[in-house]
Structures are given as structure tokens and as C-alpha cells.
Amino acid sequence: MGSKIIKLILFCLLALCVSIPCHASNIPLVRVGISDTNFKKLVYNEISVIATDSFGIYDKKNSAKIANFAKDDIIRFIYKNGKFDIERNGQVIAKNFSGTIIVHSPNGVLGIDGLKRKSKQALYHGIFELTPRNDREFFVVNILDLQEYLKGVVPNEMPVAFGLEALKAQAVAARNYVLMPRTRAYKEFDVDDSVASQVYFGANTESSLSTQAVNETMGLVALYDNDLILAQYCSTAGGYTEDYSNAFSDNKLKIFPAHPKPYLKGRPDILNVGTLDTEEAARKYYTTKPQSYDINSPYYRWIREFEKTELETILKKTLNTQSKTGFVYPFFSENQDFGELKELRVLKRGVSGKIMEMEIVSTKGTWKVSKELIVRRVFQKNGAALPSANVVFDYDGETITAYGGGFGHGVGMSQFGAGFMGKSLNKKFDEILKRYYTGITISTVPQTLGNEPVSVSFYAPHKKAHLVVDNPFGIKTLIANINGENVVINLEKKIFQTELRIDISKYIKKGINDITFKFPTYEYGKHIKLYVELVEKDD
């Protein structure tokens, strides 16, 4: 990342523009919490920072430079009692520094010495922010622009062998996810680098093909009803995706099932397959191997077997652990007597056959287990949860056999399915996304235009696009500079028309497009919401 970009990032930081997006010079920024090598923790009490070129450290509070270093220097930060001690190659250079430290290498990339990703030293574009959490621990936050972030995500979330179009679909879904994460566990950063958010391994794991996918979807997101969607995705849906509400709980209220999301609707890969919400239908589907977009996944179908006494021992432990989530009732206490297993009784399934509620019956009681992730974690085998909750059970009194399909929650895009659609069916990335996210458009991020101009940059795969405008104030004219050409856009609409769609295809080129919008001075004091929507190419 060049020095101009670094300066802009520092400008945003020092202006307290630290959440997504920062619009200085139209650069979206991402704040990523960096985990240790084993993804066990996000906090540190000391680290050693390295860089591939000269680098410096700064006081975030006043932007004052603390020190400069050469590329071979190892800088150790030791944090205790709310203050940093700083060493260069074992020699103390600063003591009792209080506050947040920024580390950046204008012409290189940064690393935490010894931190590995894919068995290699992890390296990161952008800057590090060492942010105190309390008097004993601090976070390492990697701050970088969205495109660079995605280059470290896409090849680690999806095998590059799945092909360019699937990787493009993954890039758009990942862009949506970081702009609108399902949860934000820490106020200090937007996402972390683990499967709790989406996998981000940094610059040392980038691939030329996945980087091409990121570049050729620059600025593009999936929208539903003019807003960013929550772009859930998983490894393998098992041939049938699931409704969002049937798999997830409400984030704030912790109530299951969650409110539905109309763009996250379950559907089969093969359209003549009906819903699998009965035991008979689920059993027929998951004990066979019908044709599916997911057919190439090693988790398309799977079997787990338990001896009765083995499962009883497992359930005694997992029911207690999962009771703490609130989705096991009644609460199973530690050291409570489970008794002997009598029956596994499924009470409710989703459209894909995913277990939503079930009862575990023993000689000592009956426990109701809800939500797919909890079901998976209750039935562990060799310490690992079931691959999915698309599962049916056989119990002959001595052995319990679980027949299942899929890996993950099964909501939204199936990555193996996307790979199959792209390589075997020759589907383009937008077709893949529209298959898994019902009713979406592929567009730029909606922005609000007021007195100050707004700019948007995006990659168009073909030369067709519409400007979509929500114009509550009845503004009549908009000025746009589209790829260097000044254009006056008429915004007059018909009676009762709530939204304008204006064909701007004649100004669009295949590749990267840059547009700046502004009002004539006489329209100041008003605002509109706008975005650019890609339109499918004419046959």
C-alpha cells in the first residue's frame, strides 16, 4: 500500500473515522481484530512487530512520531499496568507509554513475529493499531482498505480451484459481510480474522486468480429493497439451502427462531424436490445421494456412528455446556445424572430438513434442544460437532447412526454449489448470487447525497447500468461526472413514482468506472439516496 494511501488512512484515524466506511477520498476502511496462531485469543500482553521495509510507530492521540525503524528491526511491545514498554532488537527505547500506538510501513507490509497463517509468517497490508482493552491486555487491529482486506479473505474462504466466477461471487458476499456483519462482538473492530467472522489470513496467502476476482467485482455488493443484505454463506448446503429464521436466533433478544429475511429463503438445487420438513422426506433425501450442485463436496453426505454408552457420556458433557447458551431446556447441570438414553425425537424441521427442535429422552429426564448449531454441538464425535443439522437418526438400542448432508448452517450461498455452478454450468457470478439470495440486485453501496459531492468506483462486467434514485424532496436535476464526462441528469418523476431508474449505460465502460455526483447549488439543503445497479447484458 503506497504512502498516499497510508496518509489517508492515518488522516481517517486521527479524524476518528475508524468504522466502515471512511469516505476520505472514497476509501472504505476495515478494522480487523488479529487472533493468535491458533485462533484462541484476540488479546495480547506483548508482541514483536516486523516489517518488509522501513516502518515507524506513532501516538494515535496526537499523530506524533515515536520512532523510525529499519526493515530488519524487531520491535517488541510489552504491556502492563496500562502502559507500553517498547524495545528495538532487545534494547529499551521507550517506557511507560500510555495510549494507542499506530504502526505502519509506507512501502512494506507488517507482521507479528511468529504469527503463522497456512504455516507461513503472516503479513498484512495497511497499518496496525495497538489498542488497550484494559490495564493488562491490548488488541492488535489491522486497518486497511476494503479491497486489500478481501484479497486476504477470498482465497481462504473458497478454494481457488473453484474458478473465477465462483470466486467473484465469494468476493461480493464477503464484501457484503464485512460491510454488514451479523454480529459485532467488540467495539474496537468490525470483524476478526477467524471463522467467527470470515477467514482473513493477510497478504502472504493471496492468489492471482482470487485477486482478479476481487478486482473485477470492485465496489459491487448485493442489495435487497435498496439495502445491503446479510450475505450468509457456508461450505456445503447439502443440496437444499435453509430459511434464515430456521437456522439462526435473534442476535439481541437471543430468541429462536429469528425474524425471517426475505432474501435468505431455502430452496433445493433440483426444483422437483419438495420441502423436507417431515421425517419421511428428510430421511429419504439424506440417506440417498441425488444430483445436486453440492455433489462434489466431501460433506455432501456423511455418517456418524455412536455406541450407546459412548453417546451417553458425550451427552452428559455437551448438554451441560450447551445449556449455558439458553437453547437447552431444562438446564442440564454439571455432574447431573443423565441415566440411559431411551429416544431421540425430532420435533421440528426446516424446509431443508434441518433440525430446529428435538428432544433427547433418557431414564432421568427429557431435554429439548433448539437451533441447528446447538444440535450439532450436542452430538459431538471425537470432539467435533456434527457437520450440519441436516441429519436423521437411527437407534436400535445399542448403536446410534446419524445420516446427514452438508457442512455449516446451510443458509445463503453454498460455496461448493457456487463452484459447481461456475465451472460445470458456466454460470456468471451474478447468476450464482441471484440463485442463492432471492430477489437481489448487484449494485454499488447506497449513498446519501447532500451538499457535499459523493463518489463511487465500481467494476462493470459489461456496459449496462442504471442509476437508482430515491428522491423524497422532488429534486429536479443532478450533476454527474461519469468517467470524465459531465452529465446533467433529469430527476423528474411521474405521480406516485417512489423510485427513479435512469439508464446510464451509454456512459459506462467495461471495467472500472468512476462517478462523482453533486447537486446544482440551488438544490442545497436537500438530500437523495442513490446507487448504481448493474443490468444484465442484452442477448
What mean pLDDT comes out for the span 183-205?
91
Pick from 438, 436, 441, 440: nearest CA to 241: 436
Residue at 231 is within a domain: no
Q: What was the pLDDT predicted at 338? A: 97
Q: Are residues 73 and 198 in the same domain?
A: yes
If 0-12 CB within 10 Å is exposed, 13-18 middle and 19+ buried, where does residue 509 land? exposed
* Domain final residue, candidates 373, 404, 435: 404
Mean pLDDT confidence for 342-360: 98
- Closest to 482 in 3D by CA, of 517, 447, 448: 517
Is the residue at 259 inside a domain? no
pLDDT of residue 185: 75
CA 443 remoteness from chain centre: 18
Point out the least confidently predicted range of 189-203, 242-256, 440-454, 521-535: 521-535
Residue finishing a domain among 379, 404, 429: 404
Do residues 62 and 150 both lie within one domain? yes
- pLDDT at position 254, please? 85
Confidence (pLDDT) at 1: 42
User: What is the number of domains present in the chain?
Assistant: 3
| Residue 284 within a domain | no
Residue 26 has pLDDT above 80, yes or no: no
pLDDT band at 474 (very low <50, low <70, confident <90, very high): confident
Which structural domain, as residue segments, surrounds residue 353? 302-404
User: What is the overall mean pLDDT for the chain?
Assistant: 92
The pLDDT assigned to 499 comes to 81
- Does a structural domain hold residue 317? yes
Q: What is the pLDDT of residue 476?
A: 87
Query: Measuring CA to CA, how many Å separate 261 from each of 10, 411, 476, 502?
Result: 37, 11, 34, 28
Chain centre to alpha carbon of residue 414 = 14
Name residue, grid cell 497456512: 118
What's the pLDDT tens digit per position in 80-124? 999 999 999 999 999 999 999 999 999 999 999 999 999 999 999
* pLDDT computed for residue 252 by the predictor: 81
459: which strand partners?
512
Rounded to 5 degrees, φ, ψ at 523 are -100, 5
Amino acid 270: pLDDT: 92
pLDDT digits (tens, 9 = 90+) for 134-145: 999 999 999 999
Task: Dump strand ranges (E) for 34-115.
Answer: 43-44, 46-51, 55-59, 65-69, 75-80, 83-88, 91-97, 101-104, 110-112
Q: CA 299, CA 290: separation in Å to the nearest integer? A: 14
Question: Comparing 451 with 412, which gets the higher pLDDT?
Answer: 412
Whole-angstrom Cα Rg for the chain? 26
Identify whether residues 207 and 338 lie together within a single domain: no
Distance CA 234, CA 168 (A): 16
Give the integer Cα–Cα distance in Å for 33 and 141: 5
In this structure, the answer to whether residues 94 and 215 fall within a common structural domain is yes
Q: How confident is the model at residue 382 (pLDDT cuts 50, 70, 90)?
A: very high
Confidence of residue 25 (pLDDT cuts 50, 70, 90): very low
